[in-house]
Structure 1
Amino acid sequence: MAGHSKFANIKHRKERQDAKKGKIFTKIGREIAVAVKEGGPDPATNSKLRDVVAKAKSSNMPNDTISRSIKKASGELGSINYEQITYEGYGPSGVAVIVDCLTENKNRTAANVRHAFTKGGGNLGTTGCVSFMFDKKGQLIIEFKDDLEEDDMMMMALEAGAEDFQVREGYYEIITTPEDFGEVSAAIEKAGITCVSAEITMIPQTLTALTSDDDLKKMDKMIDLLEEDDDVQNVWHNFEG
């Protein structure tokens, strides 16, 4: 999978998320609610919930908060019907953008997403217009530490079922299929290793560079508006930021 890493994007997104930790926890709580409703409250038998819990832990969501979210989802949140909607479109200069949402009000979400694209100098497209430019993968990012030897990390990841292992700019990056993500993340956790990021994500196959200050400002504006929206769970793009 040569050329797939897009590590600048990974770090850029992580910095944004770290600055909005409270909102990230709220959004992960919503993902937990959906996963529990679909497959029950036990991560051992609910692979989707297990994947969300791995994401929660990599975002430094406390274990007791995760447990409370699962219990809460088993109770009163069971009556809330969130619908998953994915929007696709273009930012300035044709940057490909995918917006993943969970909402109980489709009209509100659609209006807000459309507004963000417009403010960002872009436009919404039809389903499938840009998703073919991305690969859906499990991705785990681990920071270099003295006690984490590269060869040991690589063997652990590959033996657990990882597709790819790369060393990049102070981090190890592990790529899996979505189906193998849970098993690989469980192996990493069992070894006592903490991930900087662990999630099912959309990795761009190529990047689009923006050269004008105006386009850069518009792209940042679009991403900020989308990430601030409570209905938006994830924003993926091929902007070389």
Structure 2
Amino acid sequence: MAGHSKWSNIKRKKGVNDAKKSKIFTKLVKEITVAARSGGAEPELNPRLRLAIQNAKGANMPKEAILRAISKAGGNDVAAYHEVTYEGYGSHGVAIMVVCMTDKMIRTVANVRAIFAKYGGSLEKSGSITFLFDYKGVFTIPTADIKDLDDFTLGLIDAGAEALENDGASTHVICAVEDFGKVQKQLEAVAVAPIAAGLQYIPHTLVQVNDAALLKLIKLIDALKDDDDVQMVYHNIDIQPEQEALWE
């Protein structure tokens, strides 16, 4: 279904093992540390840090680990990280956006290119596939936390939300990049904590593939996510209802 496909980028797989969880925490620590170093260690005064902490809590990162990451930002041994986005194609013309945070871009681009090549894809030049995605602010919240849908929706629209999309257990609040802070403050005002939030590439042109192709694409996406420099991976696969078990 299109709804599942659109949000499958942020849907967590069930039964995440310790190794996977460790990698997730490593990426979150990197974002917290960079946010604290660039904007200060006070979450109330640093929206990026506040968001990073919120995402860490949504991933069940221990409070002690979050505090250590913030404290680490004050050290002299923190690498100078740069955020860079790579664009590529998987098999069957599937578009893939790879958001990285790296202290050595030569290493990162070489790794990303090698992963694409290994699984039948190709790294493309910047700007090749961005037209297939919209860059939006997205807040994912548990649907059960919404007590009064009408009031909740009206408040968010006043704050700049463009749409609310429900996929069952989760509701996704979409807004323009420039309205991200206002929507974040509105959610805080009504005491609704997102399980994930950030700027995302949302596909508006989807591609259907058969089961064999999907399994190959999953291997490509998982390999990209496993790279230490990769923070997020977005794609435009139109996953059909009967294929959801493969994606899990």
Q: TM-score, normalised by structure 1?
A: 0.86
2:4 pairs with 1:7? yes
Query: Taking structure 1 as reference, are residues 157 and 63 closer, same or farther at Cα in structure 2, changes over 3 Å only?
Result: farther
Deviation string, structure 1 residues 167-211 (Cα, Å, up to 9, x no partner) = 333432211222322332333234332323222211111211112
* Counterpart residue identity of residue 197, structure 1: A
- Deviations along 1:143-190, one digit per CA (max 9) or x if unpaired, are 222762321321232233322223333432211222322332333234
Alignment partner, residue 36 of structure 2: 36
Distance 1:77 1:175, change over 3 A: farther
Letter in 1 for 2:232: N
Structure 1 distance, partners of 2:145, 2:83, is 41
Q: What TM-score do you get using the length of structure 2 for normalisation?
A: 0.84
Residue type at the aligned position of 2:238:
E
Q: Which runs of 5+ in 2 are unaligned?
A: 240-248
1:16 aligns with one of 13, 16, 20: 13
Q: Tell me whether 1:236 sits opposite 2:234 in the alignment.
A: yes
Q: How does 1:130-209 map to 2 (within 5 A)?
A: 130-145=129-144, 148-209=147-208
Matches within 5 A, 1:71-90: 71-78=71-78, 80-90=79-89
Does 1:61 pair with 2:61? yes
1:33/1:77 contact within 8 Å kept: no
What's 1:217 paired with? 215
Greater Cα shift, 177-186 or 132-141: 177-186
- Deviation sequence 1:63-109 (CA, Å, 0-9, x none): 4432321111122444x111222111100111111111111222321
Number of positions where the alignment pairs a residue of Structure 1 with one of Structure 2: 236
| Structure 1 Cα separation of the partners of residues 206 and 108 of structure 2 | 27
Q: Which runs of 4+ in 1 moved over 3 A?
A: 5-9
Q: Percent identity?
A: 39
Partner amino acid for 2:7? I
Structure 1 gap ranges (5+):
none
Corresponding residue number in structure 1 for 2:224:
226
- What's the offset of the Cα at 1:10? 1.9
Residue 232 of structure 1: how far off its partner (Å):
0.5
